[in-house]
Amino acid sequence: MRIKHAVLTLWAALVTLPLLWAFMSSFKTDAEIFDSPWTPPAELRFDNWSRAWDQASIGQYLLNTLIVVGGALALTMLLGALTAYCLARYEFPGNRFIYYLLVAGMLFPVFLALVPLFFVVDNLGLLGTYHGLILVYAAYALPFTVFFLHGFFRSLPGAVAEAAFIDGASHAGVFFKVMLPMARPGMVSVGIFNFLGLWNQYLLPKVLNPDPDHYVLAQGLAELAVSQGYRSDWSGLFAGLVIAILPVLLAYVFFQRQIRAGLTSGALK
Kindly state whether residue 10 participates in binding another protein, applying the rule CB under 8 A: no
The closest alpha carbon to 220, from 210, 231, 212, belongs to 212
Show Cβ contacts of residue 132 under 8 Å, excluding neighbours closer than 6 positions. 121, 124, 126, 208
In the region spanning residues 198 to 237, those forming contacts with another protein, defined by CB under 8 A, are: 199-200, 202, 206-207, 210-212, 218, 221-223, 225-234, 237
**What is the DSSP track for 49-108?**
HHHHHHHTTHHHHHHHHHHHHHHHHHHHHHHHHHHHHHHHH---TTHHHHHHHHHHTTSS
Q: Which is nearer to another protein, 53 or 175 (CB)?
A: 175
- Least CB distance to another protein at residue 8 (A): 5
Tell me which residues in 157-176 interact with another protein (CB under 8 A).
165, 170-172, 175
Residue 55, burial from CB neighbour count under 10 angstroms (0-12, 13-18, 19+): middle
Among 63, 74, 101, 163, binds another protein (CB under 8 A): 101
Per-position x/- string for 105-144, each x denoting binding to another protein as judged by CB under 8 A, each - no binding: xxxxx-xxxxxxxxxxxxxx----------xx-xxx-xx-
Give the residue with the Cβ less far from another protein, 160 or 263.
263
φ, ψ dihedrals at 10, nearest 5°? -60, -45
Select the span of 45-53, 57-65, 66-74, 75-83 touching another protein (CB under 8 A): 75-83
Question: Contacts with another protein in 24-53 (CB under 8 A)?
Answer: 30-31, 34-35, 37-38
Compare residues 19 and 63 and give the one whose CB is closer to another protein.
19
**74 near another protein (CB under 8 A):** no
| Interaction between residue 244 and another protein (CB under 8 A) | yes
CA dist., res. 61 & res. 112, Å (int): 26
